């Protein structure tokens, strides 16, 4: 599309233009675009509208299960100050600042240090209505900037790091789950997947799908029985597809424009096609019903009784609702056995499947929030408006651009104003790159190439 976009810009005179994107480069980064536009028209006016949503808190979690914020990431104070400046220039990052961790930091600073009067809470917030989610996050950045002693900062940094708690561990008895990073969506971490579906972004879709099949810990004999049924259904589905193709070929022909037209007479099938149709009916009756015990379905009552800490029932733990009809339809499709097993777990995959019907069912289930999790490649993040409460950024995505990571993160938290949201990174270095000004912005480079008249 690049050559078409560039030619449209070059050949057409469009006097009013709107550039709109959550990760739109700053005006200084795409100055040549503005200059080229100004050369085309007299009296050009440029208006910039920047907005950021701080009505939600969507914590960033590292691969060990700890919440990440600037005061946890930078032992060196000069690096911290650069991070603070970057956050002040990119306020959309504030929605990923966990409010509980910010309040813990503010309280420690108030209780431990003699802060300058202007930065004390009583001075900064003159009336109670001044205290909002947004103002607290801005105050947090100001407080970080106010620490002018490197030794003080090291003391703050060490204390906060040593005393933070793992979100996905039972901190009373430090169970085995403490280092999972909330990854085990089908077993011990399932109860942390609350309020709505989860998206797992990775370019290794099949690998992650296989991981969750293995991690579900279905006993070998049950797994083999289910796999055997699915494989038998797959063979039957292939035979049905072959017979349907025979009927299609028999009952249609190409006209002069190479379009398929029916050759049926009086709306009746040929004798051969009638025979094949009967064969299909017989085959359909041989298809076996495949289902899993609720014990293996994330966050059902039997599942929670086995996996949640202290066997507590978490009311807002999210449960898939795929439906018997959809399962039956998917089981009849000619798709890989893995995708059928995943669907039984409430997990769908978004990739270039050969079977279009499978893909359409996945899209519909995603739109209706029926799936527990979607495993998708980053190709699906643009133009996707599905509602997710939790998200994973796979470790294989550590080399993608900062802007694409922001876009990926933007898939989470589009629901109600405040629910329990998380974004769980499988590579800690990727988190740090979010809070650092990038030396190269590929989106800005491309825009300058595309939107230029030469």
The CATH classification of domain 181-221+293-427, taken from the options 1.10.3210.10, 3.40.50.300, 3.50.50.60, 3.30.70.20: 3.40.50.300
User: Residue 77: what pLDDT?
Assistant: 92
* Segments of the chain assigned to CATH 3.40.50.300: 181-221+293-427
Residues of the chain with pLDDT under 70: 53-54, 170-178, 253-267, 381-384, 415-418
CA 119 to chain centre: 37
pTM summary value: 0.81
How do 422-425 and 60-61 pair as beta strands? Answer: parallel
Phi then psi for 196, rounded to 5 degrees?
-175, 180
At 51-85, the pLDDT tens digits run 776 677 899 999 999 999 999 999 999 999 999 99
How do 252-254 and 373-376 pair as beta strands? Answer: unpaired
Q: How far apart are CA 434 and CA 3, in angstroms?
A: 31
Phi then psi for 190, rounded to 5 degrees?
-55, -35
User: Residue 252: what pLDDT?
Assistant: 74
Nearest to 208 by CA among 345, 406, 381, 335: 345
User: Residue 253: what pLDDT?
Assistant: 62
């Amino acid at each position: 599309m690049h050559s078409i976009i560039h030619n449209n810009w070059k050949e057409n005179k469009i006097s009013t233009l709107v550039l709109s994107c959550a990760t739109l480069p700053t005006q200084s980064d795409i100055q040549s675009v503005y200059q080229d536009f100004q050369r085309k028209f007299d009296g050009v006016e440029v208006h910039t509208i920047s907005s950021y949503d701080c009505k939600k808190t969507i914590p960033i979690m590292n691969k060990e299960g700890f919440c990440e914020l600037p005061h946890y990431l930078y032992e060196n104070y000069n690096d911290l100050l650069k991070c603070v400046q970057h956050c002040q220039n990119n306020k959309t990052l504030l929605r990923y600042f966990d409010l509980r961790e910010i309040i813990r930091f503010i309280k420690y600073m108030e209780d431990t240090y003699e802060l300058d009067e202007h930065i004390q809470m009583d001075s900064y917030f003159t009336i109670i209505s001044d205290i909002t989610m947004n103002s607290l996050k801005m105050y947090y950045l100001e407080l970080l900037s106010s620490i002018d002693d490197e030794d003080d900062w090291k003391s703050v940094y060490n204390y906060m790091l040593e005393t933070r708690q793992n979100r996905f561990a039972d901190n009373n008895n430090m169970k085995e789950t403490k280092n999972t990073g909330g990854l085990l969506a089908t077993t011990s971490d399932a109860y942390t997947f609350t309020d709505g579906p989860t998206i797992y972004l990775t370019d290794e879709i099949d690998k992650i799908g296989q991981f969750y099949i293995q991690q579900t810990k279905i006993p070998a004999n049950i797994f083999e029985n289910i796999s055997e049924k699915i494989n038998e259904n797959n063979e039957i589905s292939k035979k049905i597809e072959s017979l349907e193709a025979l009927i299609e070929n028999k009952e249609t022909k190409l006209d002069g424009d190479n379009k398929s037209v029916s050759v049926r007479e009086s709306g009746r099938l040929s004798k051969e096609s009638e025979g094949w149709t009967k064969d299909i009916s017989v085959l359909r009756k041989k298809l076996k019903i495949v289902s899993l015990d609720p014990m293996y379905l994330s966050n059902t009552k039997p599942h929670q009784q086995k996996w949640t800490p202290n066997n507590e029932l978490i009311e807002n733990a999210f449960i898939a609702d795929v439906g018997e009809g959809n399962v039956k339809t998917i089981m009849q499709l000619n798709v890989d056995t893995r995708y059928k097993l995943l669907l039984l777990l409430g997990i769908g995959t978004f990739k270039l499947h050969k079977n279009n019907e499978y893909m359409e069912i996945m899209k519909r289930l995603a739109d209706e929030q029926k799936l527990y999790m979607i495993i998708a490649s980053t190709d699906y993040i643009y133009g996707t408006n599905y509602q997710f409460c939790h998200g994973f950024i796979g470790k294989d995505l550590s080399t993608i651009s900062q802007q694409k990571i922001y876009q990926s993160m933007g898939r989470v938290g589009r629901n109600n104003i405040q629910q329990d949201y998380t974004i769980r990174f499988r590579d800690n270095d990727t988190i740090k790159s979010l809070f650092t000004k990038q030396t190269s912005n590929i989106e800005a480079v491309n825009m300058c190439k595309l939107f230029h008249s030469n």
